[in-house]
Amino acid sequence: MDEKLEKIFSILAPGKPVRSGIDRILEANLGALLFFSSDAEDHLKKGLIHLGFKIDCEFLPEKVYELSKMDGAIILNVDGTKILYANALLNPDETISSSETGMRHKTAEKISVQTGDLAVAISKRRNVISAYYDKIKHELLPENVLFARLNQEITIAQRYRQNFMSLVEYLNLEEAKGEVSLDYVVETLSKGLLTIKITQRAEKYLLELGEIAGSAKIEHEEILRSMPKLVGAIIMDYSSENIKCQRPEEAVDIFNNYSIDTLVKPLEIAKVLGYDIASEDELEEEKLTSRGYRILYSTKLPSIAIKNVIENFKTLPELMKATYDELTDISGIGKRRAKIILDAINKKRKGKDFSLSELNLISDEKDEVDKIRNP
């Protein structure tokens, strides 16, 4: 999130005292211009601010509401905890260009560009709060609209996560049969990366809501705590070149500059993974072997130990054959860590011991997964 937006939300988020005062102004169908000055005295000397009335009192929502009934700007200190002046005239440099048309908004934009401080224009006619900070503009949305958009993003992210986890289960079946196709790897990653991207997109609504975001913030944090690690481990398992990261979450960074529109395109994901694939038919024909990162990171062992195990066994099928003595011979893997790895391997191996009836169900599960791939 942009630091400037964070600054805006730290003062103007719903529930904050300044926002409460602004909401009172809107409810009364009034307009106002607020300027959060970092050096009001210097601006007075230079003529950037022309005095109306000196107030110099602690900020209260009721006070800023009453002062908004007068013409002119209300000057506050930089963090909005004190009201300094009211009925003031702002005189920004006329040579500064502005994209705004109304005088209040034009003045707010220019004064913010000139000083680098926050200015807020409250529109009486449009019932809109426009915040200007340095060279950015952000229109603050009503609380009910913010909650609706936040909940929508979280709901979509949760649906993609559910689809991703179902695809991971099928990926486990494919690994057990030794028939992993690039097709399913990219589909699985697509759902995982979309889950992360959409959840990150919701962050701006969380910041703007501030302390009143509630349970949506918990859901947001939970998704971003668990998903990048699992998605990153899959990337490390199946990229064409062995990506050596300190943490699996870092592997997700190779997709940072890709938009949501790109992340729904299998060929684009395959390209980022390092595969030169010309058509989607080739995705299914390309067979891959896991390196074993996913199973090893599930043990919560240090990355350096996991790296040494991967370098020793190279692939998941070889890792599945590992013995206690072979593991303890690896640098950084003592008796305790060898046992932890073997326990993880045994759990994975149990997943391989399908009965005949279970194997017959795989084709049925594939049909279900095909539905998930296009929710």
pTM (2 d.p.): 0.77
Q: What is the per-residue pLDDT for 215?
A: 86
- Separation between Cα atoms, residue 4 and residue 324, nearest integer Å: 54
Span 1-40, pLDDT tens digits: 577 888 898 899 888 999 999 999 999 999 999 999 999 9
SS3 call for 6? helix
Q: What is the per-residue pLDDT for 364?
A: 45
Average confidence (pLDDT) over 156-160:
95
The residue with greater pLDDT, 179 or 286, is 286
SS3 call for 246? coil
Q: Among 295, 292, 269, 310, which residue's Cα sits nearest to residue 185?
A: 269
Q: Do 3-140 and 145-372 agree at the fold level?
A: no
Span 161-197, pLDDT tens digits: 999 999 999 998 888 777 899 999 999 999 999 999 9
Q: Is 282 a residue whose pLDDT tops 60?
A: yes
Q: What is the per-residue pLDDT for 66?
A: 96
Whether the CB-CB separation of 43 and 49 falls below 8 Å is answered with yes
Superfamily grouping for domain 3-140: DNA integrity scanning protein, DisA, N-terminal domain (3.40.1700.10)
Span 48-85, pLDDT tens digits: 999 889 999 999 999 999 999 999 999 999 999 999 99
Look at 65-79, 206-220, 281-295 and tell me which has the smallest mean pLDDT: 206-220
Q: What is the per-residue pLDDT for 212?
A: 85
Q: Is 370 a residue whose pLDDT tops 70?
A: no
Q: 172: part of which helix (H) or strand (E)?
A: helix 143-177
Span 90-145, pLDDT tens digits: 999 999 999 898 899 999 999 999 999 999 999 887 778 999 998 899 998 888 88
* Residues in Cβ contact with 171 at an 8 Å cutoff, skipping those fewer than 6 apart: 180, 184, 185, 188, 234
For 80-238, list the strands marked E by DSSP. Answer: 82-90, 118-122, 129-133, 136-140, 180-181
The string of DSSP codes covering 304-367 is HHHHHHHHHH-SHHHHHT--HHHHHTSTT--HHHHHHHHHHHHHHHHHH---HHHHHHHHHHHH
Q: How far is CA 108 from CA 28, 201, 286, in A?
A: 21, 28, 58
Which residue type occupies 168?
Answer: V
Find out if CATH 1.20.1260.110 is the number for domain 145-372: yes
Q: What is the percentage of the chain residues whose pLDDT exceeds 90?
A: 74
Half-sphere exposure of 202 (CA within 13 A, CB side): 26
> pLDDT class for 351, splitting at 50, 70, 90?
low
Look at 86-100, 142-156, 238-252, 353-367 and tell me which has the smallest mean pLDDT: 353-367
Domain assignments of the chain as residue spans, ordered by start: 3-140, 145-372
The residue with greater pLDDT, 215 or 34, is 34
- Separation between Cα atoms, residue 119 and residue 75, nearest integer Å: 9
Average confidence (pLDDT) over 255-263:
95
Q: What are phi and psi of 358, to 5 degrees?
A: -65, -40
Q: Report CA 185 to chain centroid distance, whole Å.
A: 23
Q: What is the per-residue pLDDT for 134?
A: 87
Q: Is 290 a residue whose pLDDT tops 50?
A: yes
Q: Report CA 347 to chain centroid distance, whole Å.
A: 33
Q: How crowded is residue 93: how many other Cβ atoms within 10 Å of its Cβ?
A: 10
Residue 97, both tokens = 């260009």
SS3 call for 180? strand
Output the CA torsion 26→29→30→35 (10° steps): 20
Provide the sign of the torsion angle of the four alpha carbons 295, 298, 300, 302, taken in this order: positive
Q: Residue 258: left if φ>0, alpha if ψ -120 to 50, beta else—which one?
A: beta
Q: Is 88 a residue whose pLDDT tops 60?
A: yes
Q: What is the per-residue pLDDT for 353?
A: 42
